[in-house]
Structure 1
Amino acid sequence: MPTVPPATALFLPGLTAVGGEAANSTRPGAELSVPVSVESLPTGREAYAWLHLGRTPEIAPGQIFEVVAPLMQTTSAIAQERQLAVIQNLLPNLPEVWIDAAALSEVLSNLLDNALKYAPPGALIWVTGGLVQTLDGQFFQGIAIGDTGNGIPLIDQPLYF
């Protein structure tokens, strides 16, 4: 039976798989795989109702760089005001991927906003784009956002993971 790849499980914490098993993490960065019967999952636009996104997605070919670049302009300006350093490594010429640009922008904006809010002065915020992996003949790209702040206190982590 195919499983949800770890990155999918991390982006969908609490995802209830076919059979009622839930994907939950007890620590940041934990890799999860939840058995899912691909044949029983909804496909196409019906899949998004299953995930309760609250709107119809607008999936189209696009470049991750085009979504991230405007966010980085804003992030860099705010980071400078807050005495934070920003490093970005974004590759602009990667092949297009299927994305919902508005949803991706919202998610990345929230991650960057959290880094700006909670990283102490002198901390580093980093963004790396163009992470590439081929799995079962399919091409995947990724983006990583992080900071050198203290992170979520251990006592609060069960609330989020």
Structure 2
Amino acid sequence: MTQKIADDIDRRILKELVADARITNNELAERVGLSASACLRRLRRLEETGVIQGYAALVDPAVEGWTMTAIASIRLSRQHDDEIQMFENAVQSWDEVLECHLVTGSRDYVLKVMSAGLEQYERFIKDKIAKLKCVDTIETSFVMNTIKARRF
């Protein structure tokens, strides 16, 4: 298997791109100590090998009216393939769900959910999650403040 990250220069390239994905190749090359052509070759290799999976704009959720973040822990009634598939398919269609993780422990899934407020979150729970026959319990924690949010 080919190593995806060759050395510390690759790591510095990634660190700079995480900080500013719109950096020019010339500026990136200067910051990591490479020529522009060598930097571009490394960047293309990191993209082609899947280390860099894409580029995105980070948009303030408040622009969409989403000012409240909730962490919902979900336990399914049974861990059968049909119920797992039902839940995962439903989650894919819900815009409010930013992240969904299959987890170990007493819960099956943890969701990061955004809404415009408590009433909208309650409507999301009642109209979407609670209507799934495969869901046994829902436990919610509300995010009061984000101390650190790292992007990869």
Do the structures match in fold with TM over 0.5? no
* Higher RCO (CA < 8 A, seq sep 6+): 2
Indicate the TM-score class for this superposition, using the shorter chain for normalisation: under 0.3
Greater CA radius of gyration, 1 or 2? Answer: 2
Which protein has the bigger helix share?
Answer: 2
